[in-house]
Structure 1
Amino acid sequence: MAAEHTALPSPELIAKAAALNVFDDSGKEVSFGSIIKDQKTIVVFIRHFFCGVRQQQYVMQLASVRQDALDAANARLVIIGCGDWQPIKNYCETTDFKGPMYADPSRGLYNTFGLVQNLDMTPAGEEKRSYLGRSYIGNVLKSIWQGPLKNPLLVGKQGPVSQNGGDFIFGPGETCTYAWRMRHTEDHVEVEDLMKEAGVAYP
């Protein structure tokens, strides 16, 4: 039996999620069902849009996934954040992520898929993820500069700081073959492992 954080969402939950809307980088509403309808879709739910360099480093790793590798696996890679849509373009510029990115300000999808809230870091004795940097203070300072200081008009639009994300593989259609819910703030699945689950060559 799968652990709670890796349990696949039921068909009923996926159907419920498919009817929910997210926002693209121009503020247009898009149904989640339309995102996963036509092909295998790797969906990464991130923490808030001002989350520090550690989260950004993870998205930078996602940005390094080759488009030809995604095409060969008939897959697409999508990122969803828990804030408003206005920070999306800045976040993409910061991380060099060129794929589709959406915002879920109501956190309807986060709640439907059981993504938890906490501010816990990697527990003692648990191996840290490869994307994590070593300088915590440096990460905090850089995060503050790239977020609220550099973009004061986006303050309040980044999403809740305690909301954790997760990594899923959906589709084609209302199906799910892989689920990983972050148990703490540094718990995204390794990009290499996620791509392997999706059948995408990496690096």
Structure 2
Amino acid sequence: MAMRLDVINSSTGIRLPLIDYRAAARLGNPKRPNRILPLLRLRKSNSRSFCPFIRSIRSAADSFANAPSFKYEDITSSLQNVEVFDLTSKAVPIVDLWRNRKSVVAFARHFGCVLCRKRADVLAANKDLMDAADVALVLIAPGTVDQAISFFEQTKFKGEVYADPSHSSYDALNFAYGVSTTFTPKAGMKIIESYLEGYRQDWELSFKENTRTKGGWQQGGILVAGPGINNISYLHKDKEAGDDPNIEDVLNACCSKPIF
């Protein structure tokens, strides 16, 4: 059943429809709409007098719409016992990657993924901006250290690379997983675009046993955190393969002063 919330201005008695949950439900979960839709319709004769009122309603609605649907403290708590491995096979607590610095942490689908290689390249292209803001660039993927080394050597990635053979960080962050999130029309178009731009899938890495059994259906995301293990300023979770975030949002989150 559709729910509707109206606001009545006390001075004029005009009823203002503020939220139409039926419309919001079409954008996502009806119990947790992705976006609050301000539906303000005013009679022309009263539109000027309501300008401040409209602005305040819109501002409140925008704030609610942009609020994260997760608690950052819950994220760091779930990551406390997670370890990843650097290229020397040393185990590193994942929260140490941003404990004493700010870091952009890209979680790839797997080390052979063409879409992940393009995303890594896009992030690395902005490393000068990150360096200027003392921000580290990190990439993590499911797989072995040997696969991580192959990825690093093939791509010449400018940041740090870590392996997560057990998927523990992906499970802790509750990243999307499954065949239905991998084979989608959007992912197909992204793959074609990537190949046209010169990027290539590493099929040998893609068909390693641990990738075929787990990593092939795994989705990733991007985290911006630190300094301080509880200081998380941005988290994007890919809904499907190729669900890239806006790079401007990532760069604005990783720098102390907005770039854009």
Shared fold (TM-score greater than 0.5)?
yes
Q: Residues 41 and 78 of structure 1 are in contact (CA less than 8 Å); yes or no, is this contact kept in structure 2?
A: yes
Residue 20 of structure 1 and its aligned partner are, at CA, apart by 1.4
Cα distance between partner residues in 1 of 2:120 and 2:252: 17
1:71 corresponding residue in structure 2: 131
1:134 corresponds, among 192, 206, 228, to 192
**Is the counterpart of residue 194 in structure 1 residue 247 in structure 2?**
no
Of 105, 110, 125 in structure 1, the residue corresponding to residue 170 of structure 2 is 110
Deviation track 1:71-125 (CA, whole Å, cap 9, x = no partner) reads 322211111101122111221232221211111111111111110103336866x
- Alignment RMSD, CA only? 3.3
Q: Distance in 2 between matches of 1:157 and 1:26?
A: 20
Report the Cα distance in structure 2 between the residues aligned to 1:73 and 1:8, rounded to whole angstroms: 27
User: Residue 26 of structure 1: which of 54, 73, 88 is its match?
Assistant: 88
Q: Aligned residues: percent identity? A: 23
- Asked which structure has the greater RCO (Cα within 8 Å, sep 6+), the reply is 1
Unpaired runs of 5+ in structure 1?
none
For 2:218, the equivalent position in structure 1 comes to: 163
Deviation (angstroms), 1:193: 2.9
Q: Measured at CA, do residues 190 and 10 of structure 1 come closer, stay the same or move farther in structure 2, by a change above 3 Å?
A: closer
- Look up the match of 2:238: 182
User: Is the 2:148–2:162 contact (alpha carbons within 8 Å) kept by the matching residues of 1?
Assistant: yes
Preserved contact between residue 110 and residue 116 of structure 2 (Cα < 8 Å): no
What letter is aligned with 2:144?
D
CA contact (8 A) 1:80 1:101 kept: yes
| C-alpha distance in structure 2 between counterparts of 1:181 and 1:86, whole Å | 26
Q: Note if contact 1:167-1:188 (Cα within 8 Å) is conserved in structure 2.
A: no
| Residue pair 2:238, 2:244 contacting (<8 A) in 1 also | yes
Asked whether the equivalents of residues 98 and 227 of structure 2 are also in contact (C-alpha less than 8 Å), the reply is yes
Name the amino acid aligned to 1:72: A
Q: Distance in 1 between matches of 2:208 and 2:184?
A: 30
Say if 1:62 and 1:97, in contact at 8 Å, map to a contact too. no
**In the superposition, relative to structure 1, how do residues 75 and 134 fare at CA in structure 2: closer, same or farther (>3 Å)?**
same
Q: Which has the larger radius of gyration?
A: 2
Gaps of 5+ in 2: 1-31, 35-67
Distance 1:172 1:202 in 2: 19
| Corresponding residue of 1:57 | 118
